[in-house]
A and B are shown apart, each in its own frame.
Chain A
Amino acid sequence: MKILVCLKQVPHQDARLDVRADGTWIQEDNIKFEINSYDTYALEEALRVKDKGDTEVVVASIGPDRVTQALRTALGMGADRAVHVKDPAADGSDALGVAKTLAAVAKAESPDLVLMGLMSDDGNAASVPPMLAQLLDVPSATGVMSVEYQNGSVRVERELEGGALEVVDLPRPCVLAVQTGINQVRYASLKGIMAAKKKPIDVKTAADLGVAGQVGAAAAKARIEKVYVPPKGQGAEILSGSADEVVGKLVGKIKELGLL
Chain B
Amino acid sequence: MGSILVVAEIQKGAVREASYELAAFAQKVAGGRTIHSLVLGSGVAGEAESFAKKGGGQVLYVDRPELASYSVDLWTRAIRAAVEATSAELVLISNTPSGWDVAPRIAAALDSAYVSDVFNMEPGSPTAFVRRVFNGKLDARVVPKADRVVATVQPGATAAFQGATDGAAKALEVDLGAPRAKFVETKVATSKGVDLTKAEIIVSGGRGVGAPEKFSEVIKPLADALGGAMGASRPVVDAGWLPHEYQVGSSGQVVTPKLYIACGISGAIQHLVGMKGSNYIIAINKDGDAPIFEVANLGVVGDLFEIVPKLTEAVKTAKG
Interchain CB contact (< 8 A) of A126 among B117, B301, B307: B117
- Determine if B298 and A222 form an interchain contact, defined as CB atoms under 8 angstroms apart: no
- Given A122-B133, A124-B134, A237-B298, A222 and B114 touching (CB < 8 A)? yes
B interface secondary structure, majority: mixed
- A140 to B180: give the CA distance in the assembly, Å: 9
Which of A139, A167, A222 counts the most B-chain CB atoms under 10 A from its CB? A222
- Chain A residues contacting B311 (CB-CB under 8 Å) are 247, 250-251
- Determine if B142 and A222 form an interchain contact, defined as CB atoms under 8 angstroms apart: yes
Closest chain A residue, CB of each to CB of B289 = A229
Interchain CB contact (< 8 A) of B186 among A142, A160, A254: A160
Closest chain A residue, CB of each to CB of B155 = A161
Interchain CB contact (< 8 A) of A228 among B97, B138, B280: B138
B264 part of interface (Cβ distance < 8 Å): no
- Chain B residues contacting A121 (CB-CB under 8 Å) are 134-135
Closest chain B residue, CB of each to CB of A156 = B181
B160 part of interface (Cβ distance < 8 Å): no
- Chain B residues contacting A230 (CB-CB under 8 Å) are 132, 136, 138-139, 291, 294
Interchain CB contact (< 8 A) of B144 among A26, A132, A221: A221
Count, chain A residues at interface, CB 8 A: 82
Interface size class of B (residues with CB under 8 A): 35 or more
- Chain A residues contacting B299 (CB-CB under 8 Å) are 235-239
Interchain CB contact (< 8 A) of B105 among A140, A222, A225, A247: A140
- Given A143-B101, A236-B298, A164 and B189 touching (CB < 8 A)? yes
- Given A225-B141, A238-B299, A248-B314, A165 and B187 touching (CB < 8 A)? yes
Would you list which residues of chain B between 61 and 101 have a CB under 8 Å from chain A?
A: 69-70, 72-73, 76, 96-97, 100-101
B194 part of interface (Cβ distance < 8 Å): no
- A165 to B97: give the CA distance in the assembly, Å: 10
Which of A125, A158, A227 counts the most B-chain CB atoms under 10 A from its CB? A125
Interchain CB contact (< 8 A) of B97 among A155, A166, A222: A166
B20 part of interface (Cβ distance < 8 Å): no
- Chain B residues contacting A11 (CB-CB under 8 Å) are 134
- Given A26-B138, A236-B298, A246-B300, A223 and B145 touching (CB < 8 A)? yes
- A11 to B134: give the CA distance in the assembly, Å: 9
The smallest beta-carbon distance between A219 and chain B, in angstroms, is 9
- Determine if A140 and B181 form an interchain contact, defined as CB atoms under 8 angstroms apart: yes
A54 part of interface (Cβ distance < 8 Å): no
- Determine if A251 and B318 form an interchain contact, defined as CB atoms under 8 angstroms apart: yes
- Chain B residues contacting A126 (CB-CB under 8 Å) are 100, 104, 116-117
- A76 to B207: give the CA distance in the assembly, Å: 26
- Determine if A168 and B183 form an interchain contact, defined as CB atoms under 8 angstroms apart: yes
- Given A96-B108, A166-B97, A253 and B183 touching (CB < 8 A)? no
Sample of 20 A–B contacts (CB below 8 Å): A19-B138, A95-B104, A121-B135, A125-B114, A125-B131, A131-B114, A155-B184, A164-B186, A167-B187, A221-B113, A222-B149, A225-B143, A228-B138, A228-B141, A229-B138, A236-B296, A254-B259, A257-B258, A257-B280, A260-B315
B interface residues with partner A (beta carbon < 8 Å): 69-70, 72-73, 76, 96-97, 100-105, 107-109, 111-117, 128, 131-146, 149, 180-189, 200-201, 226, 234-235, 237-240, 244, 247, 250-254, 258-259, 279-283, 288-289, 291, 293-302, 306-307, 310-311, 314-315, 318-319
